[in-house]
Structure 1
Amino acid sequence: MGRFVNQTVFIASALVIVIIVAVGAIFPQGFGDIAGRLLNATTYYFGWFYLISVFGFVIFLFTLAFSKYGKIRLGPQDSRPTYSFFSWVSMLLAAGFGVGLVFYGMAEPMSHYIQPPYGDFEGATPEAARYAIQYSFFNWGIHQWAAFSVVGLIIAYYQFRKGQAGMVSNVLSSVTAKRPKIRKLGPVLDIFAVVATVMGVATSIGLAVLQINGGLNAVFGVSESVMWQFIIMGAMFVCYMISTTTGLDKGIKYLSNLNLALCFALMFYVLFTGPTVAILETITLGIGDYLQNFIGMSLRMSPFEDSEWASTWTIFYWAWVIAWSPFVGTFVARISRGRTIKEYVFGVLIVPPLLACLWIGVFGGAAIQMELTGDAGLAQATQDNLTSALFQMFDLMPFSNVLSVVALFLIFIFLVTSADSATYIVSQMTDNGSLNPPLVKRIIWGVLIAAICLTLLSAGGENGLKGLQSAAVLSALPFTFILYGMILVMIRELRADRKAMLTALYRRHSETPVGADAFEAETLADEDRYRRAPDVKNRRINPR
């Protein structure tokens, strides 16, 4: 029965995706317009709901980390992390940020500098520059990782602690088990997650191919054409198929480590060859403004003024990360086995956002400083062509051609790791959450994702891809309610888990009792440490 469900999810999700892509390829303009209008209506009517939900996810995660459940491990209580901290963070960045941060790290602050958020300041002024960094930090900071973190934490808990398949339907099975009619919707939830993931990944890869083509045009004069986009896509397909065959512990891990090393190298070069002091001051001021206005930015709307800024930027971002949370969350869960809940929350919610803020502070701060101290033309370049603005900034720095080549290589490797991790996770989703899905399925999904990109690029170009992106983001609204259900189930399971551990420990050590507070503390510590405690035999019991 389980195998039949596996194939049902696999076949049904593939058919749904093929149908959607076919419609997008045949009617790219109409498909994009309809999806865009639906997305605009959703963000207009439910923008407040997205803001409250994502802020609530942040509160839930930090509360959980500091609670009595923080020491529970995502796996057996005596387990240890599978990956080193550096490899773990590298893979988090590869899956969660990818190529977007490379392009928007400079372009988004410059966009906000030209048109400040909510129209609070006049554009292209020192006040607008400060605001631009503050809101760029906010959009790429803790909130963006909240939805990823919630899904990843819950799936990792069920997969490694409970020994169940890491599927959305499995997490909610305890709720649907008592309701046979609702239980039948389990595969539908998995299909829903797969379709949203594939559409989102295909869109990101397709848009990044267009961006690489723009970068090649800016650096080497290569034409921006379908032929070159097919060549770029073909080269990337070969690379991520090779990486896919090597597995998670080699391909994705090694490429992610290379990515992070290149990111640091490029970032430090710009820091020390650019306006170093101004960049460091920008980062310091930006972090201060971000922390000081954290709650206000989290819940800011514009009901008394006509401003579409939040819908265009923050609300769209939050909808996008919720839509992507099944993919990124499942991947984050897969690489987080053995970490405590507290370690997981602080690692995922602090380290990647901090690195993102450093990247934005360096590239965005350097670009804005160049624009303020002299007309560098970067503001106009960002408005004219987002794909080539970063390379025009490099033209103002020493060894510009080398910088551009390194940036293009970094973007390409990010794309390969994103596509590789996506094929792995989608294969896992369509194989009942298997930690090692069959190579055949990974290859099939890799081919299908590449085919989606090529079809839409040849038929509708950026319009077709944007339509697919809008359709993917529309899935965020229903999935937000699914996330609420997953959180409630997680809280209930944690309470039962902790109670079971207390009971088991009490029974094992009933002849060597301990005080109530120490008893609870020891429960969440390693059992071998409990046995090694020198005074354990001298304690008296007083269980609650």
Structure 2
Amino acid sequence: MNSPVTRSAHHDDATGVPDDPVATTSALARIDFGVAVPALLLILGIAAWAMFGRDSFDVASTSSFSWLVNDMGWAFILMATVFFFVMFGIAFSRYGHIKLGRDDEKPEFSTPSWVAMMFAAGMGIGLLFYGPYEPLYHYREGVPGHAKHEVGTAFATTLLHWGPVAWATYAIVGVTIAYGTFRLGRPQLISAACIPLIGERRANGWLGKLIDIAAIFVTVFGTAMSLGLGAGQIAAGLTAVGWIDGTTVTVMLGAIGVLAVAYLASAMSGVARGVQWLSNTNMLLAGAVAVFILVFGPTVAILNTIPTAAGSFLDQAFEMLGRSAGSVDGTAGEWMGSWTIFYWAWWVSWTPFVGMFLARISRGRTIREFTVGIVIVPTVLVLVWFAIFGGTTIQMERSGDSVWGDGSPEAMLFNMLGELPFPGVVSVIVVVLLATFFITTADSASTVMGTMSQRGRVNPTPWVTGIWGLMTTIIASVLLLSGGTDILNSLQTIIIVAGAPFLLVVIALMLSLAVAVQEDPMFLEEKEARKAYVRLLREQRNRERRGVIDDSAHSGSITADAPEDLAKKWG
């Protein structure tokens, strides 16, 4: 399996598309200081403000959060739905069979490795954190417009947040980047992917740099959110197995520090050797844990949950997509900020990192294959995952063996494992799984930020990757210090504020894709062939009118002069 950067560069004779656009742009590998330096200063400035001006930082972030949820939450809700329908509209239109690469190109990674990498990079830590917690929360507390203890509603809401709508947001960014990079030979940059909409001159100018700076900025904060959740849950796991006395900020910072060394080493090893190996390991461990819970947990209840969850999601989909801060007589705002709007902002903040990473591993697949693989396959896995973890905690709640405890989401997974056989051994395995998800997430994000700061270089310089990994570590540590042990609330506030402006960029990418596929080389050739055929047919009819050709010539002239395939298609 070759890394893209190791291949030779040549052009495909049929389409003119570069065989390897990355290799043809080796001169662009130098650092773009117009992007890297402002992004670095902005991130360090935010970190310093959060550390040394905590009161003013809290006031500013809380005020921004309230404004975004109450006044701009509708934009997140509306666009999440639009992304989903546009993505599937393009995928199942005539543009769906366009290759993300040459017309004859094969996928670089096998399908199992491809699924493993996209799943681990897309949601790994979050699934372990929210798997046993979110369905149980909605079951216990209810959702706006619904009563408590509605199992179907609890799972429908969870699948709204983690299912096809979320993955379609990733897909719209990933496919736009992959199309521009591997089909058209452009640098692997968010700004370059926007060329069909803003033009090449603006993409290479100040507007393009601003887009790439914003992409790095939200990637750092989106990744820091996941690392903060992972550190808190690792600390809870170490407490559960008796290795430490309790979860403290110091313990969480220690976990981040130790794992930072591992993920920096992994990131510097490259995608094929680092992320692929760890992602496959993640999937094996996650699958083993899920099967263990399925077998030793409430098996029948879990299996019953799968059709209940799927059916309830389909039944309530439009109701949930239309829910906003003004729903339920204007009382849904606080809940929306803690759940749906938070998730949409979180996924938007992850789109530069996950989208670019998905693009990087999806070369050679069609737009339709990309969409089905990125949206449908993870959704099915998410459905089964939440049915196993959430179905178990809800069944325990019903039977009087509640794992809710003090409501701490960090500890809930280990509370659940404590009610099953072999709690110590399985808890250790889960801590290892959290660590590998932690490493994979930070590994992928660091590599992608290196790419964005080096003008689209697919394999960025190791020390550049290391700097961005260090920045992510610093931000995650600062967020933990500023939020104390109330990890979730502080991280939710920051991620909505940091991710909101990037929604505009995702909209621009969606429009760029819609424009670009209409001008794809394959369709341009078809358009020119169609014009030539119509012109030939018109000339033939003119000759007939003038009596230039006889009946025998007329019977075979179209297929004789026009290409056979075009005659069949348009004749």
Asked if the contact 2:450/2:465 (under 8 Å) is kept, the reply is: yes
How far did 1:175 drift? 3.9
Match of 1:253 in 2: 276
Match of 1:154 in 2: 176
The one-letter code matched in structure 2 to 1:168 is I
Deviations 1:172-204 (A, max 9, x none): 234434876994221011101111111221232
Q: 1:117 aligns with which of 143, 151, 158?
A: 143
Residue 166, structure 1, aligned to residue 188, structure 2: yes
Match of 2:219 in 1: 197
For 1:33 and 1:199, the matched residues in 2 are separated by: 19
How far did 1:97 drift? 0.3
Q: 1:445 aligns with which of 468, 471, 482?
A: 468
Q: Equivalent residues in 2 for 1:79-478 (5 A)?
A: 79-118=105-144, 120-121=146-147, 123=148, 125=149, 128-177=150-199, 183-223=205-245, 224-301=247-324, 302=327, 304-307=329-332, 308-373=334-399, 375-379=400-404, 381=405, 383-458=406-481, 461-462=484-485, 467=490, 470-478=493-501
For 1:475 and 1:110, the matched residues in 2 are separated by: 28
Deviations 1:457-482 (A, max 9, x none): 45653569965653442244332222
For 2:433 and 2:487, the matched residues in 1 are separated by: 26
Residue 500, structure 1, aligned to residue 500, structure 2: no
For 2:105 and 2:331, the matched residues in 1 are separated by: 53
For 1:310 and 1:453, the matched residues in 2 are separated by: 24
For 2:221 and 2:144, the matched residues in 1 are separated by: 30
Q: Equivalent residues in 2 for 1:51-66 (5 A)?
A: 51-66=77-92
For 1:313 and 1:542, the matched residues in 2 are separated by: 51
Which deviates more, 420-429 or 89-98? 89-98
For 2:29 and 2:361, the matched residues in 1 are separated by: 25
Q: Relative to structure 1, is the Cα distance of residues 539 and 496 closer, same or farther in structure 2, using a 3 angstrom cutoff?
A: closer
Asked if the contact 1:29/1:463 (under 8 Å) is kept, the reply is: no
For 1:247 and 1:288, the matched residues in 2 are separated by: 41
The one-letter code matched in structure 1 to 2:388 is V
Deviations 1:428-464 (A, max 9, x none): 1111111111112011212222233334445653569
Match of 1:519 in 2: none
Number of residue pairs matched? 514
Q: Relative to structure 1, is the Cα distance of residues 320 and 169 closer, same or farther in structure 2, using a 3 angstrom cutoff?
A: same
Task: Describe the SS at the equivalent of 2:128.
Answer: helix
For 1:140 and 1:180, the matched residues in 2 are separated by: 35
Q: Relative to structure 1, is the Cα distance of residues 405 and 281 closer, same or farther in structure 2, using a 3 angstrom cutoff?
A: same
Asked if the contact 1:367/1:393 (under 8 Å) is kept, the reply is: yes
How far did 1:170 drift? 1.3
State, as a whole percentage, how many aligned pairs show the same letter: 34
How far did 1:216 drift? 1.1
The one-letter code matched in structure 2 to 1:334 is R
How far did 1:506 drift? 6.9
Match of 1:48 in 2: 74
The one-letter code matched in structure 2 to 1:377 is S
How far did 1:221 drift? 5.0
Q: Relative to structure 1, is the Cα distance of residues 92 and 505 closer, same or farther in structure 2, using a 3 angstrom cutoff?
A: farther
TM-score, normalised with respect to structure 2: 0.84
Q: Relative to structure 1, is the Cα distance of residues 26 and 399 closer, same or farther in structure 2, using a 3 angstrom cutoff?
A: same
For 1:49 and 1:487, the matched residues in 2 are separated by: 15
Q: 1:76 aligns with which of 95, 98, 102?
A: 102
Asked if the contact 2:220/2:475 (under 8 Å) is kept, the reply is: no
Asked if the contact 1:176/1:182 (under 8 Å) is kept, the reply is: no
Match of 1:521 in 2: none
For 1:464 and 1:405, the matched residues in 2 are separated by: 22
Q: Relative to structure 1, is the Cα distance of residues 398 and 463 closer, same or farther in structure 2, using a 3 angstrom cutoff?
A: closer
Match of 1:524 in 2: none
Deviations 1:349-400 (A, max 9, x none): 1111211111110111111112112x11323x2x432211111111111111
Asked if the contact 2:195/2:512 (under 8 Å) is kept, the reply is: no
Which deviates more, 364-373 or 13-22? 364-373
Structure 1: where are the runs of 5+ without partners? 514-535
Asked if the contact 2:236/2:410 (under 8 Å) is kept, the reply is: yes
Task: Describe the SS at the equivalent of 1:97.
Answer: helix
Q: Relative to structure 1, is the Cα distance of residues 457 and 245 closer, same or farther in structure 2, using a 3 angstrom cutoff?
A: same
For 2:418 and 2:248, the matched residues in 1 are separated by: 24
Match of 1:522 in 2: none
Q: Relative to structure 1, is the Cα distance of residues 311 and 399 closer, same or farther in structure 2, using a 3 angstrom cutoff?
A: same
For 1:489 and 1:540, the matched residues in 2 are separated by: 33
For 1:500 and 1:395, the matched residues in 2 are separated by: 61
How far did 1:543 drift? 4.3
For 2:211 and 2:163, the matched residues in 1 are separated by: 29
How far did 1:80 drift? 1.2
Task: Describe the SS at the equivalent of 1:83.
Answer: coil
For the pair shown, the structure with the greater C-alpha radius of gyration is: 2
How far did 1:103 drift? 1.5
Q: Relative to structure 1, is the Cα distance of residues 438 and 395 closer, same or farther in structure 2, using a 3 angstrom cutoff?
A: same
For 2:403 and 2:97, the matched residues in 1 are separated by: 48
Task: Describe the SS at the equivalent of 1:339.
Answer: coil
The one-letter code matched in structure 1 to 2:44 is V
For 2:532 and 2:336, the matched residues in 1 are separated by: 56
The one-letter code matched in structure 1 to 2:160 is F
Q: Relative to structure 1, is the Cα distance of residues 309 and 228 closer, same or farther in structure 2, using a 3 angstrom cutoff?
A: closer
Which deviates more, 26-35 or 36-45? 26-35
For 2:30 and 2:273, the matched residues in 1 are separated by: 31
The one-letter code matched in structure 1 to 2:214 is F
Q: Relative to structure 1, is the Cα distance of residues 406 and 508 closer, same or farther in structure 2, using a 3 angstrom cutoff?
A: farther
Which deviates more, 27-36 or 456-465? 456-465
TM-score, normalised with respect to structure 1: 0.88
Asked if the contact 1:99/1:414 (under 8 Å) is kept, the reply is: yes
The one-letter code matched in structure 2 to 1:12 is P
Q: Relative to structure 1, is the Cα distance of residues 419 and 336 closer, same or farther in structure 2, using a 3 angstrom cutoff?
A: same
Task: Describe the SS at the equivalent of 1:191.
Answer: helix
The one-letter code matched in structure 1 to 2:403 is L
Structure 2: where are the runs of 5+ without partners? 1-26, 538-562
Q: Relative to structure 1, is the Cα distance of residues 210 and 477 closer, same or farther in structure 2, using a 3 angstrom cutoff?
A: closer
Q: Relative to structure 1, is the Cα distance of residues 4 and 294 closer, same or farther in structure 2, using a 3 angstrom cutoff?
A: same
Asked if the contact 2:195/2:203 (under 8 Å) is kept, the reply is: no
For 1:344 and 1:462, the matched residues in 2 are separated by: 40
Q: Relative to structure 1, is the Cα distance of residues 3 and 212 closer, same or farther in structure 2, using a 3 angstrom cutoff?
A: closer
How far did 1:344 drift? 0.5
How far did 1:32 drift? 3.0
Deviations 1:208-241 (A, max 9, x none): 2122112211221513334433432232012112
For 1:232 and 1:41, the matched residues in 2 are separated by: 34
Asked if the contact 1:32/1:463 (under 8 Å) is kept, the reply is: no
